[in-house]
Chain A
C-alpha cells in the first residue's frame, strides 16, 4: 500500500478510459476470445480428443470463436447504450465507469469461474481431493463477485483496473484480429450445418397410403419404477391403458445408461460400440451416419419428418442426424442452462454446446435458485408443439414425428397435481434441496436417496398425466387408430447400490430396463411379449413397418413379425457404458452387459471383473452367480468378447 508524503507531488486520480463502442468491443472480444474460450478448451481437451480429430477441433473452435465474437459485440452494444443513456443524467466519467462495469462483470465472472474450476479439477485429479460445498455457497460466491466488483467501481482501483485491461486489449488486438480472420476463413471454407438447407417437410404423395409414425420417448423412465408392462400396480395408468390396444414388451433394454448413446441407438439401430456417440458431447460416427438413420430412411420413402424435444442430448442436432429432419426443434425451457444449450445446439456439428459448457455450468448454478419449485421443463410444451405440427399442416402425411420429453429426469420436481402423493410436503420441494445429479452416495444416505426416489416416482406420475392428455387428443383427432404410436424411454434411473442418477459405469437393471409399448394401426387388443429385446431393434422395426429396408450394418432386428403375432426367436441383448473410450483407440475400456434372458452378465474391461445374475429369480441383482455358474459365465463372457472383437473390426482405422 502506498502512503502519500507531504513533500511528494500529488498524483492525479486515474480516469476511467472512455467507454466508446470501439474500446468496449475490443476489450470484451479480448477477454472472451483470449481468456475464456482457451480455458474452456483446456478443461475439456481430453474429452474432445476422444471423439474429434484435431482438424475438427480447430474448425469447431473457429465457429465458436465467431459465436463468442457476436456475444462480445452484443455485450459492448448493451454497455455502450447504457453509458449513452447515463451520460444524459450524470457525469460522463461516472457513466463511463458504469458502462465498463456492465461489460466487465459478466466477462470477469465467467473467466474467474473457469479459472478456479480448472485449478480445482487439476488438484482433484492430481491429489484425489474432491472438496464440495452446497449450492448456497456457490450462489454466495457469485453474489460476492458481483458485489466485489461493485465496491471496486466506487474506488479509484476500478479506474486503474479498467485502464490496465483496456491497455492489454489494445496490445492484444493483432491476436484477436488474426484469430477472427482465421475463424472467418475456416467457416467460409466449411460452413456449419445450420447454414445448409433442411429436408423437405412435405411427404411424397406416392407414399400417402403409409401410416403416420409417432415416436414418444420419455427421458429417464425406468420400468423398474414405472411398471407399465409387468403385473401389479403401475405409476403410469394412462400408458397402461394405452397398452390395452398395443403390444407391451416386458423385457426391453436400453443400449446404454444415458441419453446420448441410447437415443443415437434409436436413430441408427446400432449399438454404442458401433455409433460411438458415447460421451455427452459426442455425435454419431460419420461412417454410421452415412449408412442411414431412422428419419433418413423414412424420408427416403416419402415421409415428412419432425423431431421436437426439450433435451439437447436427445436432439438430432446433437447426433448429427438433423439434415434428415424437416422440422427439428427444442422447445423453450425455464432453465437458463438448457436455454443456452438449446440455442448453441444449432451449431451441433461444431460442438458449440460442449465448447461453451462453462456458460451452461454458470447457468446451472443460477437455475438452482431461479427455477425454484417448478420443474424447468414441462412435457406439455413438447406435446402441444407436436400437436401443432401434426394438425397445423406443418408436417404432412405420411409423417414421422419424434417427441422427446425431459421429466421425470432430475430435478425431481413433479407438477402440483402429483406432488406429495408419495412423499409428504416440507422436504425436497425445491431444486436446491436435492443431492447433485448422477453421484455416488454413502450407505448412510440411503434414507435420503429413498426420498429422492419417491419424488422421482411422483414425477413419473406427472409425466404420465401429460402423456395421457396427448394420447386423448390424438384419439379425439382421429390420429390414434391409423398411426403407429410408440412410447418408450432412453434409459432408466438408479437409486440403489450407492449410485443415484444415470450415466457412469453401472449397468444395473433400473438403469437399463425401460418400457416399450407399440400400437399398430387398427390394433384393439393387448399383446405382451416377454422375450428380451434391445433398443437397437426399434429402428429396423419402424423402418420395416413403414415399408422400407433398414440400412446395412444395423445391429438390431425388426420386431415387426412379433408385433403381428409371430414368435420371436431368443437373442442376446447387449448394453454398455463407454464414456472413457476414445473412438480412435482400440476397445480396451468400458463396462459391457449381455442379457440372455433370464441370465445377465456384466463385464468390466478395465479390471476384468464379472458379475452374473439370474434376473427372473433375483430381479434386484443381489446374488452374484459368477462363481457358482462358471459354464454360464464363460458362455456369456465369450459372447461379449466375440461382439467386442466384431465391433473393433468395424471401427474405422482399426488394424485388421
Chain B
C-alpha cells in the first residue's frame, strides 16, 4: 500500500528547481548546507533513538534521586 507513495517520493526527488522563474540563486548557500544535515541528524536521532534516550534519562534521573521504576 506504500508503493504509490514511494514512487511519488522518488519522482519528487527529481523535482526540477528551475521550473519556477525566480528561485533565489542564494538558496543552497553555506548556512543551508550546514543546517540541513544537522537538522536531519537531530530529527533522525530523535526518531530512532527516542526510546533509548528517554530510558537513559530516566535511569540517570533515578540514579540521581535514588528512586526506581516500578
Contacts and interface: CB of A to CB of B under 8 A. Distances in A.
A493 to B, nearest CB: 12
A580 interface: yes
Contacts of B9: 112, 116, 141
Contacts of A144: 4-5, 7-8, 11
Contact of A117 (B15, B22, B26): B15
B13 A122 contact: no
Contact of A157 (B1, B13, B37): B1
Give the residue among B28, B33, B39 with the most A Cβ atoms within 10 A.
B28
A210 interface: no
A254 to B, nearest CB: 16
Contact of A45 (B13, B16, B25, B35): B35
A44 interface: yes
A145 interface: yes
Interface in B1-43: 1-2, 4-5, 7-9, 11-33, 35-37, 39
B22 to A, nearest CB: 4
A49 B24 CA distance: 12
A47 B27 contact: yes
B19 A365 contact: yes
B55 to A, nearest CB: 18
A122 B8 contact: no
Contacts of B19: 135, 138, 361, 364-365, 368, 436-437
A120 interface: yes
Contact of A436 (B2, B18, B25): B18
Contacts of B31: 45-46, 49
Interface string A410-435: 10000000000000000000000000
Interface in A45-64: 45-47, 49-50
Interface string A104-137: 0000000011001111111011100011110101
B26 A113 contact: no
A46 B37 CA distance: 15
Nearest to A279: B24
Contacts of B18: 132, 436-439
Interface residues of B, number: 34
A436 B17 CA distance: 10
Nearest to B12: A116
A27 to B, nearest CB: 19
Contact of B16 (A125, A436, A503): A436
A145 B60 CA distance: 43
Nearest to A41: B35
Interface string A510-552: 0000000000000000000000000000000000000000000
B24 A280 contact: yes
Given A138-B19, A364-B20, A410-B21, A118 B26 contact: no
A580 B35 contact: no
Given A120-B14, A365-B19, A279 B26 contact: yes
Contacts of A580: 25-26
Given A46-B31, A148-B5, A124 B22 contact: no
B15 A138 contact: yes
A47 B20 CA distance: 16
B28 A46 contact: yes
Nearest to A125: B28
A120 B26 contact: no
Give the residue among A116, A368, A501, A580 with the most B Cβ atoms within 10 A.
A116
A368 B36 CA distance: 30
A476 B50 CA distance: 74
Given A43-B32, A122-B37, A579-B26, A437 B7 contact: no
Nearest to B30: A46
B5 to A, nearest CB: 4
B24 A47 contact: yes
Nearest to A505: B25
Nearest to B25: A579
A412 to B, nearest CB: 13
A147 interface: yes
A125 B33 contact: yes
17 contacts: A42-B32, A44-B26, A46-B29, A46-B31, A46-B32, A50-B26, A112-B8, A120-B17, A133-B15, A135-B19, A141-B7, A141-B9, A142-B8, A148-B2, A437-B20, A437-B21, A503-B21
Q: Give the 8 A-B residue pairs with the shortest CB-CB distance, closest first.
A: A46-B29, A148-B4, A144-B8, A47-B24, A141-B11, A47-B26, A280-B22, A132-B16
Given A131-B14, A138-B11, 14 more contacts: A42-B35, A43-B32, A44-B24, A44-B26, A46-B26, A49-B31, A130-B17, A137-B11, A137-B14, A138-B15, A141-B7, A141-B15, A436-B18, A439-B18
Interface of A: 42-47, 49-50, 112-113, 116-122, 124-126, 130-133, 135, 137-138, 140-142, 144-145, 147-149, 151-152, 155, 157, 258, 279-281, 313, 337, 354, 360-361, 364-365, 368, 410, 436-439, 501, 503-504, 579-580
Interface of B: 1-2, 4-5, 7-9, 11-33, 35-37, 39
